[in-house]
A and B are shown apart, each in its own frame.
Chain A
Amino acid sequence: MSQRTKDQNVFFVLILMLTFVLTACSGAAQPTSEPAATEATEALATEAPVQSGSLTVLEWAGYEIPEMWVDFGNTYPDANVTFNFGGSDPDIYGKVLAGSSEDIIHMYTPFLNFYVEEGLIQPLDTSKLTNWEKVPQGFKDACTIDGEVYCVPWDWGYSSILYRTDKIPEGVDSWEALMDAKYAGHISMWDDGPSAVSVGSYLKGYDETNLTDEQLEEIKQLWIEQRDKNLFYWVDEPALEEAISSGDVWVAYAWNGAFYRLLQAGVPVAYADPKEGRNSWIGQYAISTKAENYDLALAFLDSKLGEETATHLLVDYAYGHPIPEYFSVVEDPLLVQALSLDDPGILERTNFTVPISSANRDRFVEMWAEVKAAP
């Protein structure tokens, strides 16, 4: 065998060894999986309050940090909470539907209904939620389906029109702005069918929960015409923020997080209060029908309504929290502006995202696909 081949063999073996060493190291570093359920059932068997046990949460990236459930962490220091992640509502829903067995699920308003439809989550015993009375009725309603409460509301925010005040000095007061020819080439809509349907319903004055085929077709045509004025459909906020920052986009469908970050970056932007009303989405925590430690899970949900958790949510992530009495902790004037905390009547003018049926969601998604695919 030539010297070269020998060298190559050495090289090959080196690579193999290196990679095995690395993978072995990572294997050792893996966190141990949740302790057996026996610990939890033992705890339930005794009369003492549930102090320990384990929970798994199907969560969105960023919410697993201890600050986001600090009240629970303080009250139940021995409990073991592990997080699995999903990338989007459909992803999370798909996972649960396919049999994923997390105890607690974090979804957003439109999807709650699907979980109930398919029997994936169980009703909550609100008498055991110490913070439930503090939650405003609107938020409670968003968690109630057929009289039963299925979730605890937590993070929420607005969807409205974000615009550059220097490019649009006249301001924006209607969702029409997303369709306005004056801003052609500088508009960006979120890449989401159901939201497009919501906006279309606001503009046409239709009832989103009860759209006929003709009405949906009209909304579709509205968005097909909008395409030539739209620069791109944004998928992630950083891309949108960058485009607004650079001046490529003057007006966009956006959440208030983007508003806040652009304010912090010193970009001249404003967040509209359209006459048809803003849209609002709410993040919700629900308990899976497969959960083994119902009481512990309920305690986790309750703690999400706790004050320290709320403070972190508001200040660290610039998202709203359902309980208004905690808002005073927000000192940053930009954040106050971003969350419209200084506008007490805003919630009444807001259209909370309504639960829709799976069949409707399918229709809306298809409509959106046809808008995007249209020649």
Chain B
Amino acid sequence: MQKRGAPFFAGYYILLLFALYLPIGILFLFSLNDGVVFAFPLKGLTTHWYRDMLRNAELLQAGMNSLQVAVASSLAATSLATTSAIALLRFQFKGKSPFIALALVPLLVPYIILGAALLVLFAILGVERSLWTVAVAHTIVSLPYALLVIMARMVGFDKHLEEAAQDLGATYVYTLRRVILPLIAPAILAAWLVAFTVSFDEFILASFLIGRRPTLPVYLLSQLRFANRFPQVIALTVLVMLASLSLVLLAQWLQRRGSAIPESDRSGQFARVPGFEDLAFQGEGSSEPHE
């Protein structure tokens, strides 16, 4: 590993991180600003926006709506991705390429087109727009990511493990439950996280497909018209960010607790990025000692 140039890279990282967090810092400042116009200089410090936000039922409901949509769509996307990944990587049949193409094509479709197309579909079918329609859309766009994450993990696995289990007399369902799923569980979790993230902050599809109950990003934009309510929205966003930070730190802590014992199915180094540990070994261009 090259250690030369480390200070340069470290400095680059710090600079970039600073640039990434600066707007967030500004947001945080404005959530404490005793004024309504979103411009410098600040007018004074106050926490009353946070208090107002907690009393703003509409705002909190929008946040809850986003949560519901994100949970529903991420669970659906992850389940679909898991079953598809298993089928694609462990079974032999025709039609694999077309299916992968179909599953990944949504990646190529800008959200505005997908949103519009689903709007058209629901209008023609007579389905009223609602949080469900948004969740459906989110599932479609999360599925490719989830699929890629899970497949990436499964590819790195020794395929013979499952055959071995079956040779030893296990039914497929048992193998699924006790061999495959536990092994890819971290990837499933990572896929779920990705799907959740994609959905929670998604704006375009939501704005096309919500019914009466807005998701948080859509609500946010609608509040732009009301300058006097805006700081509350910022307050909520800051809280959401803090919540996600704690969630991720929790995940990190759980990871670290289990990593003292290197798993027996890997050689070489490992990393502690949620879901990415599998990528640390047997990558492209390396030789596989077991095959």
Contact = CB atoms under 8 A, between A and B. Distances in A.
Q: Do chains A and B touch in the complex (CB under 8 A)?
A: yes
Interface of A: 1-12, 15, 19-20, 22-23, 26, 61-62, 84-85, 87, 98-100, 236-239, 241-242, 245-246, 261, 265
Nearest to A101: B128
Interface in B114-158: 123, 126, 128
Nearest to A10: B254
Nearest to B71: A19
Nearest to B178: A1
A239 B227 CA distance: 9
Given A1-B182, A238-B37, A238-B224, 20 more contacts: A2-B261, A4-B255, A4-B261, A4-B263, A7-B257, A7-B258, A8-B185, A8-B189, A8-B254, A8-B255, A11-B250, A19-B71, A23-B64, A23-B67, A26-B65, A98-B123, A99-B128, A100-B128, A242-B37, A265-B37
Nearest to A56: B212
A265 B37 CA distance: 9
B189 A12 contact: yes
A261 B182 CA distance: 59
Nearest to B68: A23
A106 to B, nearest CB: 15
B39 interface: yes
7 contacts: A3-B258, A8-B254, A26-B61, A61-B223, A237-B225, A239-B224, A242-B38
B222 interface: yes
A26 to B, nearest CB: 4
A236 B188 CA distance: 41
Contacts of A26: 61, 64-65, 67-68
Q: What 3 pairs across the A-B complex have the smallest Cβ distances?
A: A4-B258, A26-B64, A238-B227
B257 A4 contact: yes
Nearest to A22: B67
B225 A5 contact: no
Contact of A61 (B65, B222, B230, B247): B222
A219 B179 CA distance: 70
B259 A4 contact: yes
B71 A7 contact: no
Nearest to B74: A19
Contacts of A23: 64, 67-68, 71
A113 B128 CA distance: 25
A23 B67 CA distance: 8
B263 A3 contact: no
B181 to A, nearest CB: 10
A238 B37 CA distance: 8
B261 A3 contact: yes
Nearest to A236: B224
B211 to A, nearest CB: 8
B251 interface: yes
Contacts of B186: 4-5, 8
Nearest to B263: A2
Nearest to A98: B123
Contacts of B255: 4, 7-8
Contacts of A9: 185
Contact of B251 (A11, A236, A239): A11
A176 to B, nearest CB: 29
A153 to B, nearest CB: 21
Contacts of A61: 222-223, 225-226
Interface string B40-83: 00000000000000000000010011011001000000000000
Interface in B64-119: 64-65, 67-68, 71
A61 B226 CA distance: 9
A87 B222 contact: yes
Nearest to B261: A2
Contacts of A6: 258
